[in-house]
Amino acid sequence: MSTNQERRAEARQRLREQMEAQARREKQLKIVAASVVVAVLLGIVGVVAWINYDRKRAEEYAANWLTCEYPTDTETPEPLDPAEFEDQGAEVVAEVEEFNAQVETIDDTKRDAEPPSGDQARQGIAEITITTDRGEIPLTLDRSGAPCNVASFVHLTEQRYFDDTECHRLTVSEEDPGLSVLQCGDPTGTGLSGPGYSVVDEPPAADALELADDGSGAAIYPRGTVAMAKSQAPDSAGSQFFLVYEDSALPPEYTVMGTVGESGLEVLDDIAETGVKSDDPTDRDNQVPRRPVTIETVVVDAQSGLPER
């Protein structure tokens, strides 16, 4: 039998073992707790890092890309009844009949095209060549000043929208600065049609153009400018564009897309030298090139500087 001394020794041994086991459990709990804390902290750090990374990516994307609106625009002019204008004289009736002829031309020759899809690049250069029956006109288009309009022009070019069309308007001005442009981009040749959608205005920055000296508020669009044509209504541009061959005074609301190369300016000078069919603003041949200017093809030669997605 165990003596009292042995029993007390065994009891002390069991107590030490229990205390050691308790200490081990407490140590393990502390290690687990510390591990949990570290894991939580790492998780928080990871989440914060991901949020910052995601925010940075979003900021970079927004700096490089934007969403462009291309509203559907399928409206075409409606013919007028000449009888309603008989009391205004034969000249007005003749103008109405000419307008109706243009409406009929639109119905027969209108081309519709698909607008660009997806977000559009805010940067990048597009090298374009317009080949006319009078010579080649190279263009350099810069997305940074007009990303939505340049994207549309490039997209229309890739759809061959401008091929086999005529430049319908030539302005020849004796004023300095006046209005000296060749306008193209309407397959109907009437100046009243577009691709079936419109493009938002992207007017030049306030300090991008010099103002005319006459106090009119007009800006000087310098020789060699490529800009979008539009009506007086906002956001009414479509496919029509104009090429400036002499400094021209215009309201500073026309979107500037880029510039004409030097060899193209020589072609424009030759076209301007040929002149227009009529200088009479009331004549239907006013501002119509005396010698037709036919666009044979428009092609995108190269694009550079586009951001990566």
pLDDT above 60 (res 247): yes
Mind listing the pLDDT tens digit for each residue in 119-149?
A: 999 999 999 999 999 999 999 999 999 999 9
Asked if 141 contacts 154 with a C-beta cutoff of 8 angstroms, the reply is yes
- State mean pLDDT over 102-131: 92
pLDDT above 80 (res 13): no
Mind listing the pLDDT tens digit for each residue in 267-294?
A: 999 999 999 998 887 787 889 999 999 9
Q: What is the pLDDT of residue 24?
A: 80
In whole numbers, what is the pLDDT of the chain averaged over residues? 88
Distance from the Cα of residue 158 to its chain's centroid = 15
Mind listing the pLDDT tens digit for each residue in 202-213?
A: 999 988 999 998
pLDDT above 60 (res 1): no
- State mean pLDDT over 223-240: 96
% of the chain residues with pLDDT over 90: 58
* Helix count and strand count (H, E) for the chain: 4, 13
pLDDT band at 199 (very low <50, low <70, confident <90, very high): very high
Q: Where are the beta strands (DSSP E) in 65-134?
A: 65-66, 120-121, 125-132
**What does the DSSP 8-state code read for residue 83?**
G
Helix or strand holding residue 93 (H, E): helix 90-109
Q: What is the pLDDT of residue 164?
A: 98
Q: Where are the beta strands (DSSP E) in the chain?
A: 65-66, 120-121, 125-132, 135-142, 165-167, 169-170, 181-184, 219-221, 225-228, 241-244, 248-250, 256-260, 293-304
pLDDT band at 54 (very low <50, low <70, confident <90, very high): low
Asked if 113 contacts 277 with a C-beta cutoff of 8 angstroms, the reply is no
Q: Cβ–Cβ contacts within 10 Å for residue 98, how many?
A: 10
pLDDT band at 9 (very low <50, low <70, confident <90, very high): confident
Q: What is the chain's Cα-based Rg?
A: 36
Q: What is the pLDDT of residue 2?
A: 59
Phi, psi of 104 (to 5 degrees): -65, -40
Q: What is the pLDDT of residue 165?
A: 98
% of the chain residues with pLDDT over 70: 91
Phi, psi of 303 (to 5 degrees): -135, 140
Q: How many residues does the chain have?
A: 309
